Amino acid sequence: MTGGESVIDHGRHGCGVNVAAYALGALDPGEVDGFRRHLADCAVCRDELASFEQIVNVLPMSAPQYRAPESLRRRVVHTVAAESRMTPEVRFAPASRSRLRALRLPRPALSFGAAALALAIAAVVVVLAVGGGSSPSTRVIDAKVTGQGTASLRLYGGHAELVVNRFAAPPAGQIYEVWLQRSTGVPAPTTALFGVTGSGQASVDVPGDLHGVTHVLVTREPAGGTSAPTHAPVIVAPLS
Amino acid sequence: MNLRPRPDPLALADEDLMERVRDGDARAFEVVFERHADAAFSLAYRMCGRRAMAEDVVQEAFLSLWRSGARYDRTRGSVRSWVLGVVHNRAIDLFRRDTVRAGKDVSDDAAVERLQAPEGTEAEALRRDDATQVRGALQQLPDDQRQVIELAYFGGFTHTQIAEQLHLPAGTVKGRMRLGLTKLKLSLGDPSEAMS
């Protein structure tokens, strides 16, 4: 027992030993359901939990405060703006295979892998070490775009940002989704979903670990994104 | 017909904005995001220790709020505490999905912009005062109680994982959590207004 542990009598009711751990989100997953059932029957624990939750709610204030990165702001605001133009049924539907079936989306005429490979082979890659407004540590990679518009990938400090211009807006009920393609395996989904402005512009941070990634891909997908691509890529940015 | 213009979202309270968000109002959501994005990112960065991971957590959290139709219940607390609760849960989900936890990337500290904010609104000044009070109350806790609370809340570890790390019985860890929170409650009184 340490210095302060005798100050407070915490044995006034024996069942409360889990309350603090629950309030902090630190009960083992297997204990949670049982404790919630106990809460339904124990007013003492409910009261104690309510007071602890007030404390837990202010714990974030003790963390050092940082400004949210501008790229994060743009990404979230762009995605929400694009999705706000969709119907609520589409916007609020979960991104699941069942929803894809419900929407009766056409299967891509060209297999995703073949299309990616064809686009990658045809891609013209320009790597600029310096200049064009970039910092010395920024690499800019021009991406291959299917259709109108241009796209480039900016690499800096271990992060990547995809910038598109004069790019077509996704069809109604759809959104652009960013994927990471490694040398083997299927493309991995990211949380990056985006639409474009009225002039066809967008910039989106590419999340996730880029180690081993050979291409950053973009496809159009149902709103909310998917876990596996349903269309051929419209943007291919080679990293290797 | 006497149509009254809708108030500017910037003039609305968070709780009223959430009603508009529920109706799919992107501008209202943007205002909510702007008001709470810094606090959300700060919490996520404190938990994850990596900028990219923190950004993913915050993005997932806010987009889930948007896509879920923002099921905010004003009887259960402020919008800020609700948003931060979602961010916290997202980070913990991420920790528990990945078996290997990446440590803090100290190089990211140079890439994120620390909020200094010597100026600002009265509400921001009050919030800074409240933050100072919370940090002070945490610092006054005995080290072993503060440690288990921080490992649980910011580290996302269960009491069993903490017990293994510290080579302590699980009951001792739970007891220290409870003592620590009880003392914080005594130090801070009713802190609910601090999160409004």
Domain spans, chain B: 1-113, 121-196
3-state SS of B34-77? HHHHHHHHHHHHHHHCCHHHHHHHHHHHHHHHHHCCCCCCHHHC
Q: What share of chain A is helix, strand, coil (3-state, %, to 5)?
A: 35, 25, 40
Is A20 in a helix, a strand, or coil? helix
* Contact between chains at A3 and B26 (C-beta distance less than 8 A): no
Nearest to B52 among A55, A88, A159 (CB): A159
* Contact between chains at B159 and A76 (C-beta distance less than 8 A): no
Averaged pLDDT for residues B51-65: 90
Asked if residue B17 has pLDDT above 60, the reply is yes
pLDDT 10s digits, A217-233: 999 887 777 778 888 89
* CA–CA min distance A170, chain B (Å): 18
Asked if residue B48 has pLDDT above 70, the reply is yes
Averaged pLDDT for residues A187-200: 77
pLDDT band at A132 (very low <50, low <70, confident <90, very high): very low
**Continuous segment of H or E residues that includes residue B86:** helix B79-97
Q: In angstroms, rounded to a whole number, what is the distance separating the alpha carbons of residues A159 and A32? A: 38
Averaged pLDDT for residues B20-24: 86
pLDDT band at A235 (very low <50, low <70, confident <90, very high): very high
> Has this prediction a pTM greater than 0.90?
no
pLDDT 10s digits, A71-115: 899 889 988 888 887 655 555 444 433 333 222 233 333 344 444
Domain spans, chain A: 18-62, 70-238
Nearest to B38 among A23, A66, A71 (CB): A66
Nearest CA in chain B to A87: B24
* Contact between chains at B190 and A64 (C-beta distance less than 8 A): no
Q: What angle do CA A194, A195, A196 make, to 5 degrees?
A: 125
Q: How far is C-alpha A114 from the geometric centre of its chain's CA atoms?
A: 26
3-state SS of A133-179? CECCCCEEEECEECCCCEEEEEEECCEEEEEEECCCCCCCCEEEEEE
* Residues on chain A touching B43 (C-beta within 8 angstroms): 60, 63
User: In 3D, which of A174, A80, A195 has the Cα closest to residue B26?
Assistant: A80
Q: In angstroms, rounded to a whole number, what is the distance separating the alpha carbons of residues A78 and A72? A: 10
**Continuous segment of H or E residues that includes residue B133:** helix B122-140
The residues in B 34-53 lying below 8 A from A, measured between CB atoms, are 34, 37-43, 45-46, 51-52
Token duo for residue B171: 């009951």
Task: Give the model's pLDDT for residue B108.
Answer: 60
* CA–CA min distance B106, chain A (Å): 13
Nearest to B178 among A19, A58, A77 (CB): A19
Nearest CA in chain A to B149: A24
Averaged pLDDT for residues B50-72: 84
Q: Which CATH number fits domain B121-196: 1.10.10.10, 3.40.50.2300, 2.40.30.260, 3.60.20.10?
A: 1.10.10.10
**CB neighbours of A81 closer than 8 A, spacing ≥ 6?**
A195, B26, B30
Number of other CB atoms surrounding residue B140 within 10 Å: 12
B171 interface with A at CB cutoff 8 Å: yes
Q: What are phi and psi of A193, to 5 degrees?
A: -125, 140
Q: In angstroms, rounded to a whole number, what is the distance separating the alpha carbons of residues A165 and A196? A: 9
pLDDT 10s digits, A5-34: 333 344 455 678 899 999 999 999 889 999
Nearest CA in chain B to A71: B55
Q: How far is C-alpha B56 from the geometric centre of its chain's CA atoms?
A: 15
Task: Give the model's pLDDT for residue A199.
Answer: 67
Task: Give the model's pLDDT for residue B8.
Answer: 79
* Contact between chains at B183 and A10 (C-beta distance less than 8 A): no
Task: Give the model's pLDDT for residue B143.
Answer: 96
Nearest to A67 among B46, B60, B115 (CB): B115
Q: In angstroms, rounded to a whole number, what is the distance separating the alpha carbons of residues B150 and B180? A: 10
A65 interface with B at CB cutoff 8 Å: yes
- Residues in chain A, total: 240
A135: left (phi over 0), alpha (psi -120 to 50) or beta: beta
**Mean of the per-residue pLDDT values for chain A?**
73
* Contact between chains at B59 and A25 (C-beta distance less than 8 A): no
B129 interface with A at CB cutoff 8 Å: no
CATH 1.10.1740.10 fits domain B1-113: yes
